[in-house]
Amino acid sequence: SQTIHQWPATLVQPVGSPLSLECTVEGTSNPNLYWYRQAAGRGLQLLFYSVGIGQISSEVPQNLSASRPQDRQFILSSKKLLLSDSGFYLCAWSRPGTGNGELFFGEGSRLTVL
């Protein structure tokens, strides 16, 4: 069966510090990978998606970047965090190709920037 893990679950960081959130998927090959941010009252905002190793697309301009160094690993980074980067970050994967497009989410990482 497929599983998705993301860590850390909770993070408190000062403004200007770097960030690295990691996500790995097991039990599947060549998944589509996603990073979403959930801010209070604003729903889910797609930040990045990837259809393959080294292939990253950004949905919104921001202070964050993403990388996919391996097929089932997706990393969200920042060199210098801003207060506005606080939120709940969710990694997700989906099967490539046709199908119902179901997204499988990790448990989330709550980031507080002080």
Partner 1 sequence: GEDVEQSLFLSVREGDSSVINCTYTDSSSTYLYWYKQEPGAGLQLLTYIFSNMDMKQDQRLTVLLNKKDKHLSLRIADTQTGDSAIYFCAERGSGGYQKVTFGTGTKLQVIP
Q: Is residue 54 part of the contact set for partner 1 (CB under 8 A)?
A: no
**The only residue of 7, 46, 58, 67 in contact with partner 1, by rule CB under 8 A:** 46
90 touching partner 1, by CB under 8 A: yes
* Binding segment toward partner 1, per CB under 8 A, in 12-20, 61-69, 79-87, 94-102: 94-102
Answer for which of 3, 17, 20, 57 binds partner 1 (CB under 8 A) is 57
Going across the sheet that includes 3-7, the strands are 3-7, 19-26, 73-78, 65-70
- φ and ψ at residue 98, rounded to 5 degrees: -80, 180
Report how far apart, in Å, the C-alpha atoms of 54 and of each of 1, 5, 9 are: 25, 20, 25
